[in-house]
Chains A and B, each alone.
Chain A
Amino acid sequence: MMKNNYYKLDCQLDFRLMKRTLTFLLFLLIYQTGFAFQQQTITGTVVDDSGMPLPGVTIQVEGTSRGVTTDMDGNFSIEASEDEVLLISFLGFNSQEIEVGGEEDLQITLTENVGELDEIVVVGYGQQQKVDLIAPIQVVDDEVLKKIPTASPTEALQGQVSGVTVSNNGAPGATPSVQIRGLGSVRGDFSPLYVVDGVVTKDIGFLDMNSIESMSVLKDASSAAIYGVRAANGVIIIETKRGKTGKPSISYEGYAGIQQATPGDFSLLNNQDYIAFTNNKLEANADRNNSTFVPFDPNDYPDNTNWFDEILRTAFTQKHSLNLSGGSENNKYFVGLNYFEQEGVVKKNNYERVNVRITDDIEFSDYFRAGISTDMSVTKIDHLAGGLLGQAYSNPPVYSPRNEDGDFTNPDNLGLGQYANPAATLDRWNNIEPFTTRNISNVYFELMPIEGLTLKTSFSADISNYSTRNYARAWNVSIIQTDDSNALTRQYGRQFNYVWDNTITYEKEIDKHRFTVLAGSAYTSYFSQFLNGFNTGVEYFSDASLYLVNGDETTEQQASDGGSKRVNQSYFGRLSYTFDDKYMLNATLRTDGSSSFPEDNRWGTFPSLGLGWVASEESFFNESEVLDYLKIRASYGMLGNSDIPQGTYILPVDNRPYLSAVFGPYDSTNISQGATITTAVQPDLTWEVVEEYNFGFDSNWIDNQLSLEMDYFYRSTKDAIFPVILSATSGVSTPSGGNDRAYLDNNADILNSGLEILMGWNKQVNDNFNYNLSANATFQQNEISSLQTGTIALYNGYRSSSISQVGRPIGEFYVYEVDGIFQDQEEIDNYVDDDGDLIMPNAVPGDFKYADNNGDGRLDDQDKISAGNYLPSFLYGINFNMEYKNIDFSIQGQGVEGVSVFNVKRIDRSGNQNIDQNFYDNMWQGPGTSNTYPSGDVLGGRNPDPNTFNVESGDYFRIRNITLGYTFNEDSFFGNALSRFRIYASATNPLTFHSYNGYTPEISGGNPTNRGYDNGVYPISATYLIGLNINL
């Protein structure tokens, strides 16, 4: 009886489901059979233009769900009737339509597509054909990326993508700063979001170039809105390499080369010039202070050291990459092994990385697919010795690194001030085992219960661990390079982030209607922790003895730790619709919740809409002979920026160690813990919202040889987080915010607008010769369009020389205007206001004369002028590639304009620091000698106040890369064993044209209100290498 009941219940359930299924199938059947008659079996073979069979090609009967793929030998067989049309499509090849007619055995040759219109472009949670694309998404493929031999793939984007500003740092493994479409936030982190194998991350430094198939830069809000609250800075989706159907292939790519710093005209003074410069300075200073001037005697300083020669080197770099891939229709695999090493041009600064990448995609049946990928990397970074570059810039050249006894020279005895001997700093620097291991893995399952419907669940994990040991042994070089503690610091940290995405995609084509619907959810969790330990009195026997337990028995090991956790929860959907291949619509919606914000402000919704029209498909366009293709696009979307530190809205207790004190008799060592509240917060903090409009077109001209794409964007950040400066009298200081006495609030609107242009010229001259030329250009503008009442302009940077204020760009240099140099006392006495009072009463000849722009007789903020900022107003890139017979050649160039750089290293001095040759050669040395450069006394009087002399042009044009390659004929080596054998030589950054007084005008780092300050940047280096590509 019981059993029966169950059975009955089951039956009912089954029956209901069955009924639905049957109805559905019936519908499909009617739909299909309505057009079908007299089907026959068609067989055929698909080959490429060299006659090689193509496996995995999709053969579909147009307007039906009948479809097959070719086998390993390119063969297929399919049921079709005479009046039907077969659609033959394969990724990377031009699709074909073939009328079945009477033919039963078809020989089909697919040509590789060279035009980019048939490209598949990766978009958020899916892919689209370039034809259907409305958003300005630019794809950079691995061939372009691989030309730049660096650790970080983003570095290679420089000059390649319009709308993207990349500032590199010369240190190996350093993360370049990447900005998409201007600066939408005054907060520190403006880098885009990277999506790698489903993992959403801000750091892709672990990725090897050879693991990357392509990078898609989603520039506008309509494409990025699907990533919602984290997409405000733009999104870069990285498609990694996976296996393809075909016979197993093994490829090796490798190179080795050298790197050198490129100082150009820049150099520091030698001993003679340095003493002359210092005496000039002392004389001016003595004059100013009515003190006695006793010059230094050059004969006392016979030694001459170029400190950059001491710390720089010709560095080595190499890379080896082995990829194995292949697969059948049902199982495609990829295995990659990469090794990369880059020495920094600064000694003891190294980067080394090993990557292993494995992917497998399995098709269990027509209904069920699954795949995994995993990328494991071990990175070892020997960081730059702390303070070294600044020391090399500032140290007097007048002493040798070591004295006659072989000990490091103590510069104290020179009477020139206290300096850290850079050679001693470098020698003591000991960074042991700075390892980071990172594993990004993804597993997905796809279910296709009915034609066109795909259910996908995807789980990605990003796990990393790092550890370092830094050992600072006791030393006694000079008064400031002394420490008897033999200190050992150990740091451990781990991160565990995961993403769980679930999506449903339904694709359907009915007559002229083609649509795709996507719905999904994502759950993201970020968690990190670190633990640092410290002890002293650790004696060195070998690296193996460097453990905290081996420290001094009288001291206690000290520890500090921390952690952070953040969770995002999201729901999203997208509709893509194309009618008649002419009209396109793309709409997305994402709802995001982020734990970074207080409970009431946690959820936000981000919509977007894009429209496209292929004008060239209209009948009235057919006559055009020059214009082959024209698509006009418009889009609108909203994005969020939730990247604020976790818990910023929570008022923390400050209990840092320096707040503790010792009470008791003079020899007491009892530490009393101190703690208090030192910050203010905005409890209602919420995310920044970006609203963006994009208008653009894609066009092809002259037999598709010329392509031109243009986009105009208007991007407005609402509720941008802007620090509210509390008057210092509030006593508040934020320890981590970078800006003292400020708390964060959503109180600014920021506007970015610009024009992006991408042009290409592709020419196949003949079978032996083809070339292409491409150029991109970006014009951009940035402005803080409004600030809430009560929020005042934000000063930041070196000596408060930058300002972020309404109606002006973020982080503009705001400085006194130099109106010449006072040549003599008479000029000082004549520089008076309306009342006849001296405007610069304390000045001496050789000082800057600052313009009293508001004419009130005082020099203060109201007299300062804007002197540009570090955001270029124009950036451009040019690429040329050509192939002639077996020779290939390419050249890339890249540049920026409208950039200002603040030359801090020239004026951030406390005494007799060295200075650059250009300053010395031009400085004021008496009446009439210079009306632009001051005397050597740059620290005297009001000379150190930030002024227009300190702000220099950061414009540059750089030859980014030149590559010359030769591909041997297939039969040159080992019979036919090698399918490809190419050797090449390349030069990266060989030449940079700029007028800036420094190693490089490229200054990475700093937050938007505090950028473009050069206080000893890492020199960008030129790399020369030879390389090899072999395919088996």
Chain B
Amino acid sequence: MKKYILIIFLSVTILGCSEDMDFPTEASMPAEEFFETAEDAVQASTAIYAEMRVWVHVESPLIATGELASDNLEKGSCVGCFTEWFNYKNFTVSPDDGLLDAHWRACYWAINMCNQVTTNVPGIDMDPNLQDRVIGEAKVWRAWNYFDLYRIWGGVPIVNQIPVGPEANIRTTKEETLEFVIQDLREAVELLPDFHDTENLGRVTKWSAMGLLAKALMYQENWEEAKAVTDEIINNGLSMKGEPFDLHPDFYEQFKEEQEYNEESLLEVPASAIPNNPDISNNFSSNLQGVLDQWGQGAMVPSDDLANAFDQAGDSIRKAVTIIYRGEVTPDGDTIQGAERLDGIDGTPRYNGKAYVPTPNRFDGLGNFGPQRNIRLLRFSEILLINAEAALHVGGDAATPLNRVRERVNLPPIENPTFEDIWFERRLELAGEQDRFYDLVRTGQANEVLAPQGFDAGKNELYPIPAEQIRQTDYEMEQNPGY
């Protein structure tokens, strides 16, 4: 009898053990439940800022493409180390270059994060002002990344929504890419507030968008509008803290941590040093350029040519801030020591002083020296210089804005500036701030200035599309000429 009961029991168990296989995935939040609330929207915008401070965005790729490939910087670092960086200095970068590939990908990572916001946030039921702000922030960062892509590679695929369609594999023209940047910025200007509360200090504002718009218009050679936008910024603009824009009186202090988001600042990448939090303290820009074997890797250091340029202008203030030599004592009392030799440098080792973080404030944890230094992407002095250049084109007053920049560093005013004067001022004011190479290309000086370094006109104005990116489109994407 019992046997049969057991048989029945077993038959039941064989046929009947059905537990539901539909259960929530452990330890993960399903995406369908994201982009539901205002908090989600804000978090998605925050992620963009976090992405921007990673090395692939603002460190070696940006400095190598924008400055090392010019007369401003030399490779630096230890003798025999990272010798592939010479390729930037000598215009021998190949499509297989790792930095280029990393930077291309990084730009589109950030763009994806922006697209997540612009695609998903409009559907969230939330405070319309906050909604506008979040979308505006995403548009500014998307514009910055496309501007970056535009300057390095020319026309690139424009992806501006989720999900991504076939447009992802097709390059637009140079003009179309720049036009997209300008359009995004125009929209952002309408969406963003003049400034944020203290808690949100560092997020982009209407005036960040305006400033970037002015710069993009300059590249578009739309001088009328560039002049109008910079005039508006100069006359009515507010800094990130809500003060009228002005130049910070002390050029040295301007680049120190205490002056972050000051009256001169339009756009910064927020970076911080939180003890024991390597995930947030992950901006290695100062470390890369820090004094070799003292506070970093000593890479991408000012050239003698740059030093001569300062001397030629009689510009001792900006020279001292921009170039710090081994053996010097900084205003904060640090003695620059470190290695005796730098690669590619025949004389005294020297470093980019704008990236220098003084010892008392420096967080040295986890082998990263000075992760808290924000990356200044746009300063008021550049707005003044854009204004001057635009004025010269449209027949306005170029001297006033130019001399405002010169005045701060005790240089005599120039009554009737030429383009060359403005461009030279840009070089001295913005040296080491990832702009020189593009300026040389934009102003048509590249061949003259860079040919001795190996610049090949008709080819080296643009960098090669990374081989990996061409592969991923199954060889559909077109390479830039000459590569």
CB pair A665 B201 closer than 8 Å = yes
The closest CB in chain B to the CB of A413 belongs to: B293
28 interchain pairs, CB-CB under 8 A: A285-B80, A412-B339, A417-B80, A479-B294, A500-B17, A502-B17, A521-B14, A523-B19, A555-B276, A563-B27, A564-B25, A564-B26, A567-B21, A569-B19, A594-B21, A652-B29, A658-B50, A661-B272, A664-B202, A668-B201, A674-B48, A674-B50, A727-B473, A728-B105, A731-B109, A911-B81, A939-B84, A942-B96
Add 5 more A-B contacts to A485-B365, A728-B108 (CB < 8 A). Answer: A449-B3, A523-B17, A525-B19, A674-B45, A795-B468
- Cα of A940 to Cα of B474 in the assembled complex, Å: 28
Q: Which of B13, B83, B365, B468 sits near A521, CB closer than 8 Å?
A: B13
Chain B: how many interface residues by the 8 Å CB criterion? 120
- Cα of A842 to Cα of B87 in the assembled complex, Å: 10
- Chain B residues with CB under 8 Å of A800's CB are 467-468, 471
- Cα of A453 to Cα of B367 in the assembled complex, Å: 70
Q: Which segment of B253-261, B311-319, B382-390, B429-437 sits at the interface?
A: B253-261
Check if B10 is an interface residue, CB within 8 A of chain A.
yes
CB pair A663 B270 closer than 8 Å = yes
Given contacts A652-B31, A729-B159, A729-B169, contact A481 B367 (CB under 8 A): yes
- Cα of A673 to Cα of B42 in the assembled complex, Å: 9
Smallest CB separation, B102 vs chain A (Å): 10
Check if A651 is an interface residue, CB within 8 A of chain B.
yes
- Cα of A433 to Cα of B86 in the assembled complex, Å: 48
Q: Which segment of A71-79, A287-295, A615-623 sits at the interface?
A: A287-295
Q: Which of A455, A675, A729, A730 sits near B34, CB closer than 8 Å?
A: A675
CB pair B168 A727 closer than 8 Å = yes
- Chain B residues with CB under 8 Å of A912's CB are 78-81
CB pair B339 A415 closer than 8 Å = yes
User: Which of A653, A731, A940, A945 lies at the interface centre, i.e. has the most chain B CB atoms within 10 A of its CB?
Assistant: A731
- Cα of A774 to Cα of B468 in the assembled complex, Å: 49
CB pair A367 B270 closer than 8 Å = no
CB pair A565 B79 closer than 8 Å = no
CB pair B94 A521 closer than 8 Å = no
CB pair B108 A729 closer than 8 Å = yes
- Cα of A483 to Cα of B276 in the assembled complex, Å: 10
Given contacts A17-B4, A674-B43, A728-B105, contact A842 B201 (CB under 8 A): no
CB pair B276 A487 closer than 8 Å = yes
Check if A657 is an interface residue, CB within 8 A of chain B.
yes
CB pair B4 A656 closer than 8 Å = no
Q: Which segment of B111-119, B179-187, B214-222, B300-308 sits at the interface?
A: B111-119
CB pair B257 A666 closer than 8 Å = yes
Smallest CB separation, A243 vs chain B (Å): 25
The closest CB in chain A to the CB of B163 belongs to: A680
Chain B positions within 8 Å of A, measured between CB atoms, are 1, 3-4, 6-7, 10, 13-15, 17-19, 21-23, 25-34, 40, 42-51, 53-54, 78-84, 86, 89-90, 92, 94-96, 98, 104-105, 108-113, 115-117, 156-157, 159, 162-164, 168-169, 198-203, 257-261, 270, 272, 274-277, 279-280, 282, 293-297, 339-341, 343-344, 346, 364-367, 369, 372, 374, 467-469, 471-475, 477, 483
The closest CB in chain A to the CB of B34 belongs to: A653
User: Which of A418, A525, A655, A673 lies at the interface centre, i.e. has the most chain B CB atoms within 10 A of its CB?
Assistant: A418
CB pair A479 B296 closer than 8 Å = yes
Check if A463 is an interface residue, CB within 8 A of chain B.
no
CB pair B203 A725 closer than 8 Å = no
The closest CB in chain A to the CB of B363 belongs to: A484
Given contacts A651-B31, A912-B81, A940-B83, contact A729 B157 (CB under 8 A): yes
- Cα of A647 to Cα of B27 in the assembled complex, Å: 10
- Chain B residues with CB under 8 Å of A564's CB are 25-27
User: Which of B22, B27, B54, B200 lies at the interface centre, i.e. has the most chain A CB atoms within 10 A of its CB?
Assistant: B27
- Chain B residues with CB under 8 Å of A291's CB are 86, 343-344
Proximity string of chain A (940-952) to chain B, C-beta cutoff 8 Å, 1 when within and 0 when not: 1110110000000
CB pair A502 B28 closer than 8 Å = no
Proximity string of chain A (319-343) to chain B, C-beta cutoff 8 Å, 1 when within and 0 when not: 0000000000000000000000000
CB pair A485 B10 closer than 8 Å = no
Q: Which of B78, B202, B258 sits near A417, CB closer than 8 Å?
A: B78
Smallest CB separation, B258 vs chain A (Å): 6
- Cα of A912 to Cα of B77 in the assembled complex, Å: 12
Smallest CB separation, A834 vs chain B (Å): 18
Q: Which of B297, B341, B369 sits near A294, CB closer than 8 Å?
A: B341
Proximity string of chain A (635-664) to chain B, C-beta cutoff 8 Å, 1 when within and 0 when not: 000000000001100111111111111111
- Cα of A500 to Cα of B14 in the assembled complex, Å: 10
CB pair B80 A278 closer than 8 Å = yes
- Cα of A945 to Cα of B343 in the assembled complex, Å: 23
- Chain B residues with CB under 8 Å of A447's CB are 3, 6-7, 10
Given contacts A479-B296, A730-B108, A730-B164, contact A285 B83 (CB under 8 A): yes
Check if A671 is an interface residue, CB within 8 A of chain B.
yes
CB pair A795 B29 closer than 8 Å = no
User: Which of B98, B280, B341 lies at the interface centre, i.e. has the most chain A CB atoms within 10 A of its CB?
Assistant: B280
Q: Which of A281, A525, A652 sits near B80, CB closer than 8 Å?
A: A281
Proximity string of chain A (725-747) to chain B, C-beta cutoff 8 Å, 1 when within and 0 when not: 11111111100000011000000
- Chain B residues with CB under 8 Å of A672's CB are 42-43, 46
User: Which of A519, A595, A647, A660 lies at the interface centre, i.e. has the most chain B CB atoms within 10 A of its CB?
Assistant: A660
- Chain B residues with CB under 8 Å of A939's CB are 83-84
Smallest CB separation, A733 vs chain B (Å): 6
- Cα of A291 to Cα of B77 in the assembled complex, Å: 14
Q: Which of A485, A525, A729 sits near B164, CB closer than 8 Å?
A: A729
Category for how many chain A residues contact B: 35 or more
Q: Which of A288, A675, A733 sits near B44, CB closer than 8 Å?
A: A675
CB pair B159 A730 closer than 8 Å = yes
- Chain B residues with CB under 8 Å of A278's CB are 80
CB pair B92 A569 closer than 8 Å = no
Smallest CB separation, A327 vs chain B (Å): 25
The closest CB in chain A to the CB of B84 belongs to: A939
CB pair B26 A676 closer than 8 Å = no
Instruction: Tell me the A451-469 residues at the B interface (CB within 8 Å).
Output: 455, 457
Given contacts A663-B203, A675-B44, A912-B81, contact A725 B14 (CB under 8 A): no
CB pair B471 A861 closer than 8 Å = yes
- Cα of A290 to Cα of B163 in the assembled complex, Å: 49
Check if A821 is an interface residue, CB within 8 A of chain B.
no
Smallest CB separation, B379 vs chain A (Å): 16
- Chain A residues with CB under 8 Å of B202's CB are 662-664
Q: Which of A483, A662, A861, A944 sits near B366, CB closer than 8 Å?
A: A483
- Cα of A671 to Cα of B169 in the assembled complex, Å: 37
Check if A174 is an interface residue, CB within 8 A of chain B.
no
- Cα of A800 to Cα of B466 in the assembled complex, Å: 12
CB pair A282 B112 closer than 8 Å = no
Smallest CB separation, A862 vs chain B (Å): 8
CB pair B14 A520 closer than 8 Å = yes
Q: Which of B257, B369, B472 sits near A741, CB closer than 8 Å?
A: B472
CB pair A415 B79 closer than 8 Å = yes
Smallest CB separation, B125 vs chain A (Å): 19
The closest CB in chain A to the CB of B281 belongs to: A662
- Cα of A521 to Cα of B19 in the assembled complex, Å: 13
Proximity string of chain A (775-796) to chain B, C-beta cutoff 8 Å, 1 when within and 0 when not: 0000000000000000011010
- Cα of A306 to Cα of B276 in the assembled complex, Å: 35
Given contacts A485-B366, A730-B108, contact A662 B168 (CB under 8 A): no
CB pair B90 A289 closer than 8 Å = yes
CB pair A669 B43 closer than 8 Å = no
Check if A397 is an interface residue, CB within 8 A of chain B.
no
- Chain B residues with CB under 8 Å of A942's CB are 94, 96
Smallest CB separation, A452 vs chain B (Å): 14
Check if A111 is an interface residue, CB within 8 A of chain B.
no
Q: Which of B54, B78, B477 sits near A911, CB closer than 8 Å?
A: B78
- Cα of A732 to Cα of B472 in the assembled complex, Å: 13
Q: Which of A292, A567, A602, A655 sits near B346, CB closer than 8 Å?
A: A292
Proximity string of chain A (596-638) to chain B, C-beta cutoff 8 Å, 1 when within and 0 when not: 0001001000000000000000000000000000000000000
